[in-house]
Amino acid sequence: MSVHDVPGAFNFRDVGGLPAAGGRTRSGVLYRSGNLGHLTAAGKEQVAGLGIRRIVDLRDDDERRTEPSRVEGLGIDTVHLPMYAGSVASFFADDLSLDDVYRALVDGSAARLVDAARAVLEVQPVLVHCTVGKDRTGLSVALILAAAGVDEDAVIADYARTEQLLPVRRNEGVLRFLRHQYPDARHLEDLVTRSPGEAMRAVFDDLRLRYGGPVDYLQAYGFTADEIAELRRTLVE
């Protein structure tokens, strides 16, 4: 799980090296990060140097317009899979908890979560990102890793790692802005800055209760056994 210093981006890391059934996840195949809207020239060079062939962007249209990815000229295929059931702002306005957000994503974006797994399966090396790389990216990558046979504790630890990789100055600025807009919201800090392991474990427990598990959930929405087998061959050595 190596972290890459990519100027202008944050929370940028390789999910290689995680324990999985029969081996470990390959390095240099699947990356995850926050948005690429502030990449410097050096950051673009870093992304190019990783050989990334596809980007899976989970942001909605407004987010992409506000912070367009600075990857022009790199020849990278971008797949847009907006993954919120409702706007990002509505999650703050409705004062949703992390558990609420993840339940909304699981219930409202199942087809997109399957599409994200397929997008990773089709082309590598591949980078999955949203705005922060915490919630939509966290859930998508967690399901992809689970489908590849990665140990659940390792999947959850990878999700939880984001909290330590978010820039303090970014957190403070976003929280200050949102507290002014939503002074009575109780869950702002969790939504903006936190990725507690128990939140993803609760998702997996819920999927076990309702579907049989995270892999069964993906299969319920069309991800096939052959695709799962190919994903494991692709991601695990």
Q: What is the DSSP letter of 78?
A: E
Average pLDDT, the chain: 95
Output the tens digit of pLDDT for each of the chain's 237 residues: 789 999 999 999 999 999 998 899 999 999 999 999 999 999 999 999 999 999 999 999 989 999 999 999 999 999 999 997 566 677 788 889 999 999 999 999 999 999 999 999 999 999 999 999 999 999 999 999 999 999 999 999 999 999 999 999 999 999 999 999 999 999 999 999 999 999 999 999 999 999 999 999 999 999 999 999 999 999 999
Residue 187 catalytic? no
207 Cβ partners below 8 Å, 6+ apart? Answer: 106, 213, 214, 216, 217
Residue 87, pLDDT score: 66
Cβ 78 vs Cβ 57: under 8 Å: yes
What the chain holds in terms of domains, given with CATH numbers, is: 13-235 (3.90.190.10)
Instruction: Say how far apart CA 18 and CA 16 lie, in whole Å.
Output: 6
For residue range 51-80, what is the model confidence (pLDDT) as tens digits? 999 999 999 998 999 999 999 999 999 999
Catalytic entry in 105, 130, 145, 207: 130
User: What is the reported pTM?
Assistant: 0.95
Residue 85, pLDDT score: 58
